[in-house]
Chains A and B, each alone.
Chain A
Amino acid sequence: MSDTHPIEGHRAEGRDKVTGAAWYAFEHPVPDAVYAYPLQAPIASGRIGAVDTAEALAMPGVITVLWGGVAIPFGTENFELALFERSEVTYRGQLVGAVIADTLENARAAAAAVRVDYAPDEHDVVLRADHPDLFRPEKINPALPTDTGYGDVAAGLAGATVRVAATYTTPVQHNNPMEPHAAIASWDSAANHGGSVLTVYDSTQGPTADRDTIAAVLGLDPDQVRVVSPHVGGGFGSKGTTRPHVILAAIAARAVDRPVKVAMTRQQMFALAGHRTPTIQRMELGASADGRLTALAHDVLEHTATRTEFAEQTAACTRVMYGARAMRTTHRLVRLNVPAPSWMRAPGETPGMYALESAMDELAVALGMDPVELRVVNDPSAEPESGLPFSSRNLVACLREGAERFGWAGRDPRPGVRRRGRWLAGTGVAASTYPARRRPSTATASAVDGGYEVRVAAADIGTGARTALGDIAASVLGVDAARVRVVLGDSALPDAPLAGGSMGTASWGSAVADACAALLKDGEHGSADTADDVAKDEGWARHSFGAQFAEVLVDPLTGEVRVPRLLGVFAAGHIINPVLARSQFIGGMTMGLSMALFEETAVDATAGGFVRADLAQYHVASCADVPSVEACWIEEVDPHLWPGGGKGIGEIGITGTAAAIGNAVYHATGHRVRDLPITPAKLLATA
């Protein structure tokens, strides 16, 4: 494909979004819809006893109450989606029922009047390093080996000139997309054959997968379900899996024989929309005097739910980053009374690179070596663990370019010696990485009304996928992007994989490019299925890399941390649309900054649940926190990628950011906070 295509910088749906013409899931005008409001368990473990719905049923506008005693059986073992099927409660906030009423307000008021008896059991919600029930999962997300290694780590450490052993911890974090999870479900009357039986307006990162999951849970055929999701207000992984609100909407709509709307409140999202596991990460590094790693070990402890297992691949990044002589990565889980953890932007790499890149900085300090140079001398020629050649790897170029742009040269490595008024100033660096993969997708392209229409069941979760796919199609077709209309966000379109794993553009783009090429041959229509091509993707280690540089100011008397400057340089293959790409990079970096300094869902050991469950308490960066976040990139020409040549950019921006900021806080203050977020409370405790 051509490198020169028109870059307007305008999102295809931008005007619709700013004028309110873009409908999000809850906003679709479905006539006669009523509302379901969930009932949630106030205990973390136990059983549901008697349920008294009499008072609720007598309240204004109430149509019915759903709960275990009257709900329908499911065709699924998925505990979180088989709503009300079991009387067992395994986490605080679990759905135990719902009230359906004519208005949201009436449903919500009546929900408070349903009396549910509970028989609580002991619960356990706190991850700790000495937990007796830690176990080794069979695999880690997505299907990686749990433990890996090569060489003799103990000997490598014993023979090292310099050693670092440190434990880093990260808290529970929540995705918190701006648009809450919401759905409208509508069943067609039995007489209407030929169409879908169930239509769902959902906020999802993948209409195809959402359709398949909904169908499986409800015991339907996939072609009996249609998921419509043209606009999605962010997901960050939390909308990559089907969430219980959709199932609730579907069974409620069936129960009352009318369309039903369900929208999670922000507070409900903390229990029902996934979260990132807390981590306890033990790092052990050994190096010879020249900085070369003689041993690198990354041992991870995480939580999962009692009924659903999810093992975040936190140490997987260590298998990719540096050429240590010996290496070990392990993952252990403990099942707690928590909702199931799940994907949150760059699962694995985000917490893992925090620990690895913080430990690398500690090693640089211990060696008396510049942290940029330490990373350069350990840059491997092939993927350390697999031995596979890199399709392209430009970490060193990113570090060099970033150092130049940031003004790294001549940095005084001494910590705690730079004053700027009441502030201590420091700088830090860390590397970023994320895998470049794609999944099979289908798409069609047609000549329509003097222009072109591309159809693919992709999701635009705010990334600009619609625009980027239009750019790709226009490039293949050799026309202006304005002449291409991209139709996505509907499971009735050609099947496509999730917007997730930074794979969307490569997966959908491959199919769109092929379909457009087929259209050029046919003249009117082209279709594509990339399954065979994608199956041939083995044989190369494909990863994006990057380098992030942070400048921080710390007030030693108050513990306040500010980040006046954050710079990221990325090598992520060919950048399809620079305007959209910059937004993805700086968005990821901003989220990484939030992770470093703010984001934390407190866990209440006694109540057995998450606390601070709203955006006034779960803080993400405000505009005042990000005065200068800049991203640039090194254009890579990588022949071993998909034809569009991009590696995926949705997630790499968040990886490494927290380490760069933590390293800068150490440089500013001389204090190493190894427990995120780096708050005034923790910095004052070190003083």
Chain B
Amino acid sequence: MKQFTFARAGSPADATRQFRNGAAYLGGGTNLVDLMRLGVTAPDHVIDVTGAVSDEITAHDGGLTIGAGVRNSDLSSHPLVRERYPMLARAVLNGASGQIRNAATVGGNLLQRTRCPYFQDVSMPCNKRSPGSGCQATAPGADTANMAVLGHTPFCVATHPSDLAVALTALNARVRVVSQAGVSQARGMAPDGGRWVDMPGLHRLPGGAPDHDTVLRPGELITEVELPPPAGGRQTYRKVRERASFAFALVSIAALLDVGPDGRVRDCRIALGGVAHAPWRALAAERVVLGVPPAAEVFAGAAEAELRYAHPLAGNAYKVTLARNLITTVLEELIP
């Protein structure tokens, strides 16, 4: 392991001031420490930000503000989260194990790296870990069972592993990020010099630069997640994995369906996990469902509209079937 210095930050400004090229922010450490052990990443300065950002959940303007330092277990058990955003509570409870949820933070969860086996093995080529080295997962005979079916490029076929991010993507959450004063003086600034990043929009598709997981710039720190007032209707999160617990999603879905008094869908949100480099907001599917009475045929059409452009790899065509089945079956379960 490369030698590194370690410091605790007491405030966002303290954290961002300490940041320099080659530094890394540390939350619960449930992913970063693994990656440092594996040699996937080797920061020379580690800044513990758990004391720099809020670990509280507060109600505001009908919505909720979640400090980036809130532990996943506290998030999933918070009464307001369970009552108003049940898909979020369910998503977080479906992630990892109890021990890991106790340690993992909201900010860290959003910024965790892919669990692609080739990314995690430094003896393999990987454009995400080592730009320009190639993508072993696209070579013939590679293990592609857990790779992406949507939005991937020849540069990277990895998936984003977070459950939390999928639910936040469906809930139209936004995250607040701050950076060293003066660096992010740009449009969309928050009053204290930070900026808001909408979800979807935080995580990137790989394009030609899969080394960038998100749109965050070096040194930017997530300080909180803001949830808008809860939507109407019913919502849930469903995660499919071969093991009953402690496994990443093969495919997961966060879904919300609100049917108006006229019998037509007035709000529909669908986000998929396990299918792409980012949590996948299924806008094409939502458009099919919005404004019409909910019905199985409609949902099948919605799934088709979304998955028409899926490109499964040699070993993961099942994910397209699975995503289609999840969209239709979960939406049917949400019909009031």
Contacts and interface: CB of A to CB of B under 8 A. Distances in A.
Interface of A: 40, 42, 60, 105, 108-109, 112, 126, 267, 422, 557-562, 597-598, 602-607, 611-614, 616-617, 619, 621-625, 677, 679-682, 684-685, 687
Given A604-B142, A607-B124, A558 B322 contact: yes
A129 B194 CA distance: 61
Interface of B: 1-3, 38-39, 97, 115, 117-118, 120-124, 136, 139-143, 145, 240-248, 250, 315-318, 321-322, 325-326, 329
Contact of A681 (B3, B145, B325): B145
Contacts of A598: 242-243
A677 B121 contact: no
Contact of B117 (A617, A624, A682, A685): A617
Contact of B39 (A60, A112, A685): A112
A605 B139 CA distance: 9
B145 A602 contact: yes
B321 A684 contact: yes
Contacts, number: 107
Given A267-B121, A597-B242, A607-B136, A680 B141 contact: no
| Majority-rule SS of A interface residues | loop
B143 A602 contact: yes
Nearest to B247: A619
Given A606-B140, A623-B245, A625-B245, A557 B325 contact: yes
5 contacts: A558-B325, A558-B326, A598-B243, A604-B143, A607-B139
A622 B140 contact: no
Contact of B242 (A109, A267, A616, A677): A677
Given A109-B1, A126-B141, A687-B321, A616 B115 contact: yes
Which of A605, A607, A682 has the most chain B CB atoms inside 10 A of its CB? A607
Which of B1, B242, B244 has the most chain A CB atoms inside 10 A of its CB? B242
A77 to B, nearest CB: 28
Given A607-B136, A616-B115, A617-B115, A622 B245 contact: yes
Nearest to A41: B123
A606 B124 CA distance: 11
Given A557-B325, A604-B141, A684 B246 contact: no
Contacts of B136: 604, 606-607
A684 B142 contact: no
Contacts of A681: 145, 250, 315-316, 318
A687 B142 CA distance: 25
B115 A680 contact: no
Contacts of B141: 126, 603-606
A60 B247 CA distance: 38
B28 to A, nearest CB: 16
A646 B164 CA distance: 52
A481 B240 CA distance: 49
A682 B315 CA distance: 10
Nearest to B316: A681
B246 A606 contact: no
Contacts of B326: 557-558
A279 B299 CA distance: 42
A469 B325 CA distance: 55
A112 B315 CA distance: 32
A607 B1 contact: no
A617 B246 CA distance: 10
